[in-house]
Amino acid sequence: MLRLHDTMTRRSQPVEPLEEGHVRLYTCGPTVYARAHIGNFRAYLFEDVLRRVLEQRFPRVTHVMNLTDVEDKIIRNAVAHGSSLDEETQPWIQAFYEDLDALGIRRAHHYPRATEYVDRMVELIERLGERGATYRGDGGIYFSIAAFPTYGRLSGLRAEGLVAGASGRVDADEYGKENVRDFALWKNVGPDEIGWETRLGRGRPGWHIECSAMSMALLGESFDIHCGGVDNIFPHHENEIAQSEAATGVPFVRLWCHNEHLRVEGEKMAKSLGNFHTLRDLVDQGARPSAVRYLLGATVHYRKQLNYTAGALHMSNEAVERFATFRDRLEALPPRKGAGGPAVLLAERAVREFDAALDDDLNLPEGMGVVFAALRDANAMLDAGGVDAAGRAALLALVERVDDILGVLPLVDRERDAALTPEVRRLLEERAEARAERDWTRSDGIRDRLAALGIGVEDTPRGQRWRRL
Ligand code: AMP
Ligand code: ZN
């Protein structure tokens, strides 16, 4: 059974969906004013691994990720460029989707944008008002944490003596509050500023209310899992809990899961610190997205800090290559009849242990340890000629099971194709055509021409696959 470490109870909890067979997952998404950096992608990759494991274990998963498309920096840029919010954010939303695809991250089922849910936020704020949990101050409408006695449970912070501004994000909401930790639900804006005319007056929503309104609109008032990086615990998620539960009176979320940070030279990778790399930077420097995916998702457990170094990226590249080469070797193996024997036992045990590692709070690094130990033994069996068709099938099933979570092989195939010269690419296409037409003479002729160019081709159940000779 899948268990996850829950930040609220501070222990591992079983994943038991509120609705039988259907897991509802909300993950905090990007503020779309620049390209996300690979620290952000550590969060999105942890969530992708979670999503993939959930999809292996449960019949249905609904995954929602918000896009924060109204916020101080976005507004500042829009004003500076003389553009609308939509014009300002569209290129960054596009860039975000491109990077998700480049890293093989499964798309969420919904990407609600804050600007499209302002009505829902207004309703939620009104509901909180009816329950006496809000007040008006100079800057707008605030949530009164005095109305929510269990405030601070998630982060373990006491209601009194807390320092506001722990995340930097609350600074802009500081004016006119009764309690230092009360936070803005709605910010008044002047007639010339970007904002919405609503029943609350002219203004725009605070950051925290977005996630409460959008998650509850798409997943219901209570749902299963909510994720983000550890910097989201306070104040963002603490505030989400307070305003959601104060409005509905029911528990907001079953399990809270948070990933630790990607760091560079001892500091959190962050836009504000200027110590960040984007995926595009790394690819321009010659990195492969498959290696970046491996580094961020599979080398260190998601609840431990990960240090970004060129050496770690290099080792990830090698791990990916070893895994892909093993797959290639199995696919190229001539079928030989037999009853399976030790290779089948080896593969089945590795699958069991890999699954168990993931069930234990998504321990993909431990799972990969199991996989590479099995690969070493399987390679020795292959060297000795001891793998028949049944063994090959079992080992391929292992590779498939692992990559359903690891997600690097489709990236490797894409990267290899991109590395081909136009001539080789054309010959491969022609050969695929010839095979589709069952023209074996032509197909073999092209194979020889490819071999002369240093490219070998093998035919696999999923089509031809090339490699350098
Ligand atoms: P933000 O755009 O700052 O709200 O960040 C988007 C997501 O990335 C949130 O879940 C953050 O917690 C997460 N995040 C930001 N920086 C890092 C980092 N250096 N390492 C891991 N996750 C991060
Ligand atoms: Zn959020």
- Extract the tokens encoding 324: 């892909």
Q: Is the CB of 261 under 6 A from ligand 1?
A: yes
The total of other beta-carbon atoms located within 10 Å of residue 196's CB is 18
Using the predicted structure, report yes or no on whether residue 383 has a pLDDT greater than 70: yes
pLDDT tens profile 147-169: 999 999 999 975 444 444 444 44
Which pLDDT score, from 0 to 100, does residue 158 have? 57
Residue 174: pLDDT band by 50, 70, 90 thresholds?
Answer: low
Query: Of 369, 264, 260, 269, which Cα lies nearest the Cα of 304?
Result: 260
- 369: CA distance to ligand 2 center in Å? 33
Q: Is the CB of 306 under 6 A from ligand 1?
A: no
Report the range of poorest mean pLDDT among 149-163, 209-223, 435-449.
Answer: 149-163
Can you tell me the distance from the alpha carbon of 417 to that of 80, in angstroms, rounded to the nearest whole number? 42
Q: Give the pLDDT mean for 280-284.
A: 93
Q: Atom 12 (ligand 1): residue with closest C-alpha?
A: 229
Q: Is the CB of 443 under 6 A from ligand 1?
A: no
pLDDT above 90 covers what percent of the chain? Answer: 87
Judge if 234 and 301 occupy the same domain. Answer: no
Q: What is the DSSP letter of 35?
A: P
Judge if 142 and 118 occupy the same domain. Answer: yes
Query: Of 116, 168, 167, 178, which Cα lies nearest the Cα of 141?
Result: 178
Judge if 253 and 309 occupy the same domain. Answer: no
* pLDDT mean across residues, the chain: 94
Assessment of whether the complete model's pTM goes beyond 0.95: no
pLDDT tens profile 310-324: 999 999 999 999 999
How many structural domains comprise the chain? 3
Which pLDDT score, from 0 to 100, does residue 138 have? 87
Using the predicted structure, report yes or no on whether residue 170 has a pLDDT greater than 70: no
- Which is it for strands 306-307 and 262-264: parallel, antiparallel or unpaired? parallel
**Residue 155 near residue 233 (C-beta atoms within 8 A):** yes
**Closest ligand to the CA of 257:** 1
Judge if 183 and 242 occupy the same domain. Answer: yes
Q: Where are the beta strands (DSSP E) in 96-200?
A: 134-136, 140-143, 183-188, 196-198
Query: Of 187, 169, 184, 217, which Cα lies nearest the Cα of 66?
Result: 217
Judge if 226 and 310 occupy the same domain. Answer: no
Domain boundary (211, 229, 259) is at: 259
Judge if 312 and 449 occupy the same domain. Answer: no
> Which atom of ligand 1 has the smallest separation from the CA of 231?
12
The residue type found at 235 is P
Report how far apart the first and last C-alpha atoms of the chain are (Å, whole number). 44
Which pLDDT score, from 0 to 100, does residue 334 have? 85
Judge if 335 and 429 occupy the same domain. Answer: no
Judge if 147 and 282 occupy the same domain. Answer: no
Can you tell me the distance from the alpha carbon of 210 to that of 405, in angstroms, rounded to the nearest whole number? 30
Can you tell me the distance from the alpha carbon of 394 to that of 286, in angstroms, rounded to the nearest whole number? 35
- 98: CA distance to ligand 1 center in Å? 18
Q: Give the pLDDT mean for 86-104.
A: 98
Domain boundary (234, 259, 284) is at: 259
Residue 239 Cα to chain centre, angstroms: 23
- 458: CA distance to ligand 1 center in Å? 42
CATH number at residue 361: 1.10.730
Which pLDDT score, from 0 to 100, does residue 466 have? 87
Residue owning tokens 């009104």: 126
pLDDT tens profile 414-435: 999 888 899 998 999 999 999 9
- 208: CA distance to ligand 2 center in Å? 6
Judge if 241 and 296 occupy the same domain. Answer: no
Can you tell me the distance from the alpha carbon of 452 to that of 447, in angstroms, rounded to the nearest whole number? 9
- 174: CA distance to ligand 1 center in Å? 23
Judge if 102 and 65 occupy the same domain. Answer: yes
Residue owning tokens 């925290």: 208
- Extract the tokens encoding 304: 């431990």
Reported residue count of the chain is 469
Domain boundary (225, 259, 293) is at: 259
Burial of 158 from C-beta contacts in 10 A (0-12 / 13-18 / 19+): exposed
Q: Is the CB of 169 under 6 A from ligand 1?
A: no
Judge if 301 and 158 occupy the same domain. Answer: no
Can you tell me the distance from the alpha carbon of 456 to that of 139, in angstroms, rounded to the nearest whole number? 68
Can you tell me the distance from the alpha carbon of 268 to that of 281, in angstroms, rounded to the nearest whole number? 18
Judge if 192 and 237 occupy the same domain. Answer: yes
CATH number at residue 25: 3.40.50.620
In sequence order, what are the residues at sequence separation of 6 or more whose Cβ sits closer than 8 angstroms to the Cβ of residue 445? none
**Closest ligand to the CA of 29:** 1
Best mutation site among 27, 33, 40, 64 for ligand 1, i.e. most ligand atoms within 8 A of its Cβ?
40
Q: Is the CB of 297 under 6 A from ligand 1?
A: no
Name residue 459's beta-bridge partners.
464
Domain range for 370 is: 267-415
Q: Is 1 helix (H, G, I), strand (E, B) or coil?
A: coil
Q: Atom 4 (ligand 1): residue with closest C-alpha?
A: 30
